[in-house]
Amino acid sequence: PLPGEPEPLTMMLNKPEGFLVTASDDQGRRTVFDLLEKNVPPSLRYIGRLDRDSSGLLLLTTDGELAFRLSHPRYEVVKRYEVTVNREPAARALDRLRAGIELEDGPSAPAEIDVLYTNSDGVRLRISIHEGRKRQVRRMLRAVGYGVSKLERVEFAGLKLGKLASGKTRVLNEDELQQLR
């Protein structure tokens, strides 16, 4: 008898800065797959991306239907980030982000944005978007005149990063999978 299909695997990774979200890199740079156990299924794929300078929640799965559901723009899956910018944003800049802003590749959808706190590193913002364009949060903030020194995705489709240590993974439980579906 042939073996049956393996059960789908979906896990969360707390991606550290400095790692590429790709299966391999022809320049020999570190990828998120270097952080995983060596016995992961070859069909394991990431859902969405984070650039090399960003950290936080990244989902990986062997479930193609789930990957499609979480990555296709028509489903408007919310992604929440905590971002450190170089100075206190003006109310006008925040209003522009909340209304949607013109980027090189077209207008962005409106963002939810809150100022969390200010410290010696800068001002910490929480930004929620449902698009997933390349370096979108950084480009949105740059368009209104603010540099980003730190960007971390803390939530994806209602699933929170929580206390998962940087560079570590954990398999999602059935309740979390139902929430994502």
Residue 51 appears among annotated catalytic residues? yes
Q: 26, 51, 53, 95: which one is catalytic?
A: 51
Q: Which of 27, 28, 34, 30 is nearest to 13 (CA)?
A: 34
Q: Give me the residue label for tokens 């982000």.
A: 97
Active site residues: 51
